[in-house]
Amino acid sequence: MKYKETIKQTIMHKGWKYAQLLVEERDLEQYSEAQYIIVELYSLGPEGEYDAFCVAHLQTIEDLKRATRDIERDGINTWFYENGTFEWKRKNHEWVWDWTKNTSSNQSKPIENDDVVCDWNVTPYGEQIN
């Protein structure tokens, strides 16, 4: 079985959930402002940790309800913000928050490119997976 197929099966078995990620905090003179994105968070880590994400595609009322339940249950996810850097970039003719992992963190082997099928994916290792 190909590695890519193994990753797809891992996602199906280990699961995923919606999450709201903190991507930017601004401390302006008059007020503070934060930016967030709604994502599909994947459990791909060796110990079941949620360590990869892609921008969520909410297309039905049920998708919106599930995203709301997951985000209300888990709160705002700050792990990616605290362990990397988000940068507003133009990719594939659209603007996206690109994430790069901090190099000082100790992590196991990263997931290889092209392992998760999604429009825009990154891992905690700073790699884009398309």
Please tell me the predicted confidence (pLDDT) of residue 14: 57
Q: Is residue 58 part of a domain?
A: yes
Q: Is residue 127 part of a domain?
A: no
pTM, 2 dp: 0.66
* Residue range(s) defining the domain that contains residue 117: 3-122
Please tell me the predicted confidence (pLDDT) of residue 30: 65
Per the structure, how many domains does the chain have?
1
Per-residue pLDDT of the chain (130 residues; tens, 9 = 90+): 454 444 444 444 458 899 999 998 877 666 678 889 999 999 887 887 888 898 898 999 999 999 999 999 999 999 999 999 998 888 888 888 888 888 864 444 443 333 444 444 444 444 444 4
Tally of residues, the chain: 130
Q: Is residue 130 part of a domain?
A: no
Q: Is residue 129 part of a domain?
A: no
